[in-house]
Structure 1
């Protein structure tokens, strides 16, 4: 037999052997530019090499190439970091607004590791924001229970049946899922169980004392319970941690209005919006609080500041005046 043919056969078999570890590129999780446009060197020989390439591309904001490299890392039979890589893939898709692919990546990550805490709490957050609060709560609780396993704790909580005592008995460290605790706090506020909600927020703050989100939500929970001084304290702490947090600023204004301090509320609104909008907001929220007489003054000022622009203020003023008249009529009827 021709020696050249034998040599070619040996080389061919050797190439097959060296690449038997890796499958063909799996494109189901890819949505970037054509992969043929990537000018990469030789194919990665290990999972870690592919992950490092992905990390480097991500650091350079080349998310298409990062996705390509991360997906290639999944193709190694001996891959050890699939769940973590799938989480990263999911985060990239989520940052690009592709929620379908991000969800697919997260769910695949859980097939690899059902107790991946980052994936569980991210799914909890995503489902909650999409309005699927039951799914959201389920994944948040799974994240917390998975964290208890990590910490070798026997404690756990169950969906729909959580007490303050059970929350306080949980274990945690700085790596615990603060987002899951905060998310559950929001869901329990919606369920009108403020004490349980506040216990979740406080636990999130034990994990991350600098969390402006947990502080803001804890303040708002106290506001909804009519505990205005507590609400103000936590809300001011949130603003101190994050001066650009407009939601916290908005909540602070609501607290001042609840305490009949309209001027302070107006000053807060004017930190992050123009005067007509700030005046309209004060009037609108005073109206919601059942104070239409006070609302009228601020709504009229909003219109005076920018009459051609402030259609909303005109509509709110008309509503406030109707309520004032209705209240006056009611008083007159009672006097008679």
Structure 2
């Protein structure tokens, strides 16, 4: 965030929090200045379309201060706060929408996805299922339910949910990445790679796909391919370090040590981080051999 926008953004966040609190409490308060709600919403929509989310939020909050129980305004506030990574405030806005309109599909979907990222899986599942009931074309809700199934180890159920999302939104990178990672978790590395390659065919700079592909190659002991994949999104030294770190987590200590040494050779700046990794490997090796750490 630039310094130029930091104050408007903080102000908008504070105002929107106050607005949501006022909606809930309905406490008596002084009459606000007369606001042209339609004009404020139109200005907010124009700013949102240009990607000027701080300015959009200010306009939406102005509209909301004059019409605090309007679900459409609160929905705009929630969407914009998500764009600004203010997930807690966005969740409050979506919850307020659902109190006004319990059958609102988008608010159910959006709040469910926020709760999923917060690890509140049971509540997330209920909201995402409700979103699909209200809008059977909600690919994001199907995608979220696929993630929940993966987390539960239900890979067949996850595949079914992702397939429904893919049918509704073909070639969506987020869905294809999740399909690939789900197959990776299930041990189907061939199919996992196919999904990652589908992402990269349409979006060659998709960092998540390259990262997932690198992880897949490490799992298969294909280190040159792993380093090449990681190198698409980071420096060669970082790529070697990343591959080494995954090897270390999987207790492939000899391979990890070799990759750490290569990271150091490529960039002395990685010496400290790689040395810490090597030191950890030596301690683990000594412990396994019954020696002093």
Matched, 1:63 2:56: yes
Deviations along 1:101-154, whole A, 9 cap, x unmatched?
422321221123222211111101111112222221221111112124xxxxxx
- Corresponding residue of 2:186: 225
* Partners of 1:252 and 1:291 in 2: CA distance: 19
- 1:53 shift after superposition: 4.6
Counterpart among 217, 241, 248 of residue 209 in structure 2: 248
| 1:267 and 2:236 correspond | no
CA distance in 2, matches of 1:104, 1:95: 15
Question: Which of 67, 75, 78 matches 1:90?
Answer: 78
Distance 2:255 2:47 in 1: 57
Structure 1: 5+ residue stretches without partners = 1-26, 32-39, 77-81, 149-175, 331-336
Query: 1:132 maps to which residue?
Result: 120
CA distance change for structure 1 residues 99 and 215 in 2, over 3 Å: closer, same or farther?
closer
TM-score normalised to the size of structure 1? Answer: 0.69
Change beyond 3 A, Cα 1:303–1:115: same
Q: CA deviation at 1:190?
A: 0.9
1:87-236 to structure 2, matched below 5 A, reads: 87-148=75-136, 176-236=137-197
Q: In 2 relative to 1, CA 56–199 (structure 1 residues): closer, same or farther, beyond 3 Å?
A: same
Question: Quick check: 1:54–1:68 contact (8 Å CA) kept in 2?
Answer: no
* Paired residues of 2:146 and 2:157 also in contact (CA < 8 A): yes
Rounded Cα–Cα distance in structure 2 between residues aligned with 1:262 and 1:59? 43
Q: What TM-score does the superposition give when structure 2 sets the normalisation length?
A: 0.78
CA distance in structure 2 between the aligned counterparts of 1:64 and 1:90, rounded to whole angstroms: 9
Retained in 1: the 8 A contact 2:128–2:144? yes
Question: 1:323 Cα deviation (Å)?
Answer: 4.8
d(CA) in 1 for partners of 2:21, 2:57: 8
Change in CA separation of 1:134 and 1:305 when aligned onto 2, cut-off 3 Å: same
Please state whether the residue corresponding to 1:202 is helix, strand or coil. helix
Q: Is 1:52 matched with 2:42?
A: yes
Q: Tell me by how many angstroms 1:259 deviates.
A: 2.3
Q: CA separation of 1:286/1:97 partners in 2, compared to 1, >3 Å: closer, same or farther?
A: closer
CA distance in 1, matches of 2:108, 2:234: 37
For residue 28 of structure 1, give the secondary structure of its aligned residue in structure 2. Answer: helix
CA distance 1:220–1:100, change in 2 (3 Å) = closer
SS at match of 1:187: helix
Larger Rg: 1
Match of 1:171 in 2: none
**1:283, CA displacement in angstroms?**
1.7
Counterpart for residue 319 of structure 1: 280
2:19 — aligned with what?
28
Q: Is the 8 A contact 1:266 1:279 kept in 2?
A: yes
2:135 match: secondary structure = helix
Aligned counterparts of 1:228 and 1:53: Cα–Cα separation in 2: 49
Report the 3-state secondary structure (helix = DSSP H, G, I; strand = E; otherwise coil) of the residue aligned with 1:300.
helix
SS at match of 1:131: coil
Q: Which shows bigger deviation, 241-250 or 114-123?
A: 241-250
> Mind listing any 5+ residue stretches in structure 2 that lack a counterpart?
1-17, 23-32
Q: Number of residues paired by the alignment?
A: 261
